[in-house]
């Protein structure tokens, strides 16, 4: 254990540490040197792996860029077709989803009338309607998830069928 001594050095306190001399056996030096060399090799291997990973990522980036380059010209038309299909399906399943969302909302409110405030109670059928549209088999299978998110939730392509009942 090192010997620590504190003393005044003008207006400051100086700490002096005297450590004992250490002697190493040849065994210790051999082990330490080999351990140090092994660590250098490991770091070198990690650097090689990082370089290989970087090259792989560059190749993958190029491949994805080419992949998108071939498909991007079709994107706008495909999105438009998906939106049109979404609107068509909504018109087909509208009444079914509206009725079911009203029934489920009424049941939920009856179970615990105090769980929701008046605004939430008024919004509940619409929120259930949105979810029923999004998860309906005809939509969930035929419409891309990104289109569902954007055009059923973020900027709906349908009117709130419960707006008159407010």
- Assess whether pLDDT exceeds 90 at residue 15: yes
Q: Is 115 helix (H, G, I), strand (E, B) or coil?
A: coil
**Pairwise CA distance, residues 158 & 91, whole Å:** 9
- Assess whether pLDDT exceeds 60 at residue 3: yes
Q: Is 3 helix (H, G, I), strand (E, B) or coil?
A: strand
The 3 state secondary structure assigned to 4-26 is: EEEEEECCEEEEEEECCCCCCCH
Mean pLDDT of the chain: 94
**Pairwise CA distance, residues 163 & 141, whole Å:** 28
**Pairwise CA distance, residues 48 & 3, whole Å:** 45
Q: What is the pTM of this model?
A: 0.67
- pLDDT tens, position by position, 137-160: 999 999 999 999 999 999 999 999
- Tokens 């001399």 map to which residue? 21
Average pLDDT of span 85-106:
96
Provide the CB-side half-sphere exposure for 57 (13 A, CA).
6
Residue 61's pLDDT is 98
- pLDDT tens, position by position, 114-137: 888 889 999 999 999 999 999 999
Q: H or E element: which one contains 159?
A: none
Domain ranges of the chain: 25-165
Average pLDDT of span 45-57:
98
Residue 164's pLDDT is 67
Residue 2's pLDDT is 74
- Tokens 């569902």 map to which residue? 148
């Amino acid at each position: 254990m090192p010997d620590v001594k504190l003393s005044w050095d003008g207006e400051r306190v100086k700490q002096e540490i005297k450590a004992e001399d250490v002697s190493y056996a040849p065994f210790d030096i051999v082990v330490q040197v080999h351990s140090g060399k092994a660590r250098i090799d490991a770091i070198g291997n990690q650097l090689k792996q990082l370089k290989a990973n970087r090259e792989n990522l560059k190749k993958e980036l190029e491949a994805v860029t080419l992949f998108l380059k071939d498909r991007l010209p079709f994107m706008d038309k495909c999105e438009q077709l998906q939106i049109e299909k979404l609107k068509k399906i909504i018109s087909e399943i509208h009444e079914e989803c509206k009725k079911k969302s009203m029934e489920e909302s009424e049941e939920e409110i009856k179970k615990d009338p105090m769980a929701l405030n008046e605004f939430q109670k008024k919004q509940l059928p619409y929120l259930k309607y949105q979810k029923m549209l999004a998860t309906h088999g005809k939509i969930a299978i035929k419409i891309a998830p990104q289109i569902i998110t954007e055009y059923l939730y973020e900027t709906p392509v349908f009117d709130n069928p419960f707006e008159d009942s407010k």
